[in-house]
Amino acid sequence: MIKIKDVSFSYEGNPKNALTNVTLEAARGDFLGIIGQSGAGKSTLTRVINGLVPHYYDGVFSGDAAVGGRATLESSPEELARSVGSLFQDIEGQLFASVVDDEVLFGLENFGVPRDEIESRVEYALAAAGISDLRTRAISTLSGGQKQKVAIAAITALKPEIMVLDEPTGELDPQSSRRVFETLRELNEKHGVTIVVVEQKIMMLCEFVSRLAVMNGGRLILEGPVASVLKNAEKLEDAGVNIPRVTTLALRLREHGLYDGEPPANIPEAARMMRTAVHASL
């Protein structure tokens, strides 16, 4: 579905490599989280997937990237947009209609979706994003979380096989962030959409994604199932990634022989770990 092979990229006028020899694959139905400190290359990696790098951003590109069977170098971002829906880090810059309805319609009309299909697509997308009730609202009156969902609905309507989201919860409180991720989970589980998402809230991210990719200084330093990535405490620390406190706790408990499982990846697992540790210390 996504195949990135040995990709390096430096932006025009910036001699430092934004990406260095990145190789990454995602299969159909994957839910992949990307983490790393500021400047690590996360946004650049998402731009490789949707073809904005190197088509819109000038620079020096090497390696190969293919998405949904199309080589990104040989396809325009417009063509790629038919299989890859993108949500940018700057959400305000992505919404251009004044009413929710129109925002979702815009892409459908642009893509030449037949008239008789448009209405059902709008309904489907608004329902999938959980905002059917906001259909006629002015976008300017919506909260940050609601705007995120409008942007998600707008790309969902196009029924992309892949969605690439760059910090979709950047401006949101924890509760709205969870709601956005629940929407993504639904699209992933019920509609089989392959999802790649950059996210700072690592603990929450780990609850939803199946795999994690960790970027540091333009390199992909770790990649794999959540639990196996979180085990690499030192590498994560080197990458400036805030390791969940519960992971640090798991490692300490392990040192003291009070727990021998994997670091918990979610709240129920954390509760289980605590019970095990309490029993072991009695």
| Cα→Cα distances 61→9, 23, 137, Å | 5, 14, 42
Residue 11 touches which of Mg ion, ligand ATP, none (Cβ within 5-8 Å per kind): ligand ATP
State the binding string over 38-67 for Mg ion (x if CB under 5 A, else -). ----xx------------------------
Q: What radius of gyration, in Å, describes the C-alpha atoms of the chain?
A: 20
Token duo for residue 108: 């459908």
Residue 16 touches which of Mg ion, ligand ATP, none (Cβ within 5-8 Å per kind): ligand ATP
- Whether cis (ω within 30° of 0) applies to the bond prior to 77 is no
Q: Work out how close the CB of 93 gets to ligand ATP at its nearest, in angstroms, rounded to a whole number.
A: 14
What's the CA gap between 73 and 231, in Å, rounded? 36
Q: Give kind and range of the element (H or E) at residue 213.
A: strand 211-216
Give the interface segment with Mg ion, choosing from 36-44, 138-146, 252-260, 272-280 (CB under 5 A): 36-44
* Positions in the binding site for ligand ATP (CB under 6 A): 11, 14, 16, 18, 36, 38-44, 57, 89
Instruction: Determine contact, residues 65/3, Cβ cutoff 8 Å.
Output: yes
Coil/strand/helix, residue 7? strand
Q: Is 74 exposed, middle or buried (0-12, 13-18, 19+ CB in 10 A)?
A: exposed
Handedness of CA 275, 208, 72, 94 (dihedral sign): negative
Q: Work out how close the CB of 32 gets to Mg ion at its nearest, in angstroms, rounded to a whole number.
A: 16
Minimum CB distance to Mg ion smaller for 167 or for 207: 167
Q: Give kind and range of the element (H or E) at residue 77.
A: helix 77-80
Q: Work out how close the CB of 131 gets to ligand ATP at its nearest, in angstroms, rounded to a whole number.
A: 26
Q: Work out how close the CB of 16 gets to ligand ATP at its nearest, in angstroms, rounded to a whole number.
A: 5
Minimum CB distance to Mg ion smaller for 33 or for 68: 33
Minimum CB distance to ligand ATP smaller for 14 or for 140: 14
Give the interface segment with Mg ion, choosing from 35-43, 99-107, 129-137, 147-155 (CB under 5 A): 35-43
Minimum CB distance to ligand ATP smaller for 9 or for 259: 9
Residues that bind Mg ion (CB under 5 A): 42-43
